[in-house]
Amino acid sequence: MTDTKLPTPRGKLTPQRNLNDLTWLRVGGPADYLLQPADLEDLRDFLRDLPENVAIFPMGVGSNLIVRDGGLRAVVVRLGRGFNGIEIDAEHVIAGAAALDAHVARRAADAGLDLTFLRTIPGSIGGAVRMNAGCYGSYTADHLVSVQAVLRDGTEVTLTPEDLNLRYRQSDLAEGAVIVSATFAPPKGDPAALHARMEEQLRKRDETQPTKDRSAGSTFRNPAGFSSTGKADDVHDLKAWKVIDDAGMRGAILGGAQMSPKHSNFLINTGGATAADLENLGEEVRKKVYDTSGISLVWEIMRIGEVKGPSEVDPDA
């Protein structure tokens, strides 16, 4: 694709850009191009003039992503400062797609609006919408009013939660569409109480999750089809970490990849892991869980790109 003539943006367009330093797991090969648009108009114009045969992949902060070692035959779109604004009125929070979930939660709490569930979710708002991110029994869909997005042909549209068909860790966002902002209508709360709740959530997260390791958050979706509630009566039988534990895969190692001893649903790069190490270990876990419980774990981490050299990974798995 590097021979294809692309539009010239006002922002930055970098050919053969390695993506490993842009993902939390620090693995992956190069994208054909990395686009960092200057602003919304720049993004619209670029997509409008881009040849139809060129693939687009919108990328957030890489917190829930494995880029395979062979890289990605696409233009990767990564939104930056022009897309990370946060606006708040008495009832609504309007956040740019590049705004970090944690920043949005804090700013909302300052204004007495409750998006506290976002505080411990790694990533940015665009990814939270696309994956209907959630925890403690709350989901992005519960508070989402509308989304602004730019379609593959450069058209700007407003989408509702119904348009996106948001469900557990899934949405129906059109191929190549780039979310640019989202509007939320959160419940109200006392700012001090909201901040105190988030501090408690952070404390619990740091106690139970490998927050100092290179991970991509939860590796697999919970088989039960819903997030942990954090409540005392929460049932753990069909949580991903529990079935991984029952299969004896906590702490399992392959190359530089490991299922975290601290939280068995966290896949970590212990140093020097390849994308193939990480993905193959994940597939070993899926096989062992299926063999021991009959449950087919579904990846929560998005895996994209081409396998490099011999590998056991089935890219379509």
- Residues designated catalytic: 169, 218, 300
Nearest Cα neighbor of 314 from 270, 272, 284, 269 is: 284
Buried b (16+ CB within 10 A) or exposed e, 170-185: ebebeebbbbbbbbbe
Q: Please, what is the Cα angle at 122 between 224 and 148, to 5 degrees?
A: 90
d(CA 207, CA 201): 10
**Up-side HSE of residue 205: CA atoms within 13 Å toward CB?**
19
Supply 12's token pair.
């930055």
Nearest Cα neighbor of 311 from 74, 72, 68, 73 is: 68
d(CA 261, CA 266): 9
Whose structure tokens read 């403690």? 136
Q: Which residues contact 24 (CB under 8 A, 6 or more apart)?
A: 61, 62, 63, 65, 122, 214, 215, 216, 217
Interstrand relation of 214-218 and 12-18 (parallel, antiparallel or unpaired): unpaired
Q: Which residues contact 65 (CB under 8 A, 6 or more apart)?
A: 23, 24, 25, 59, 216, 301, 302, 303, 304
In terms of C-beta density within 10 A (0-12 exposed, 13-18 middle, 19 or more buried), how is residue 162 classed?
exposed
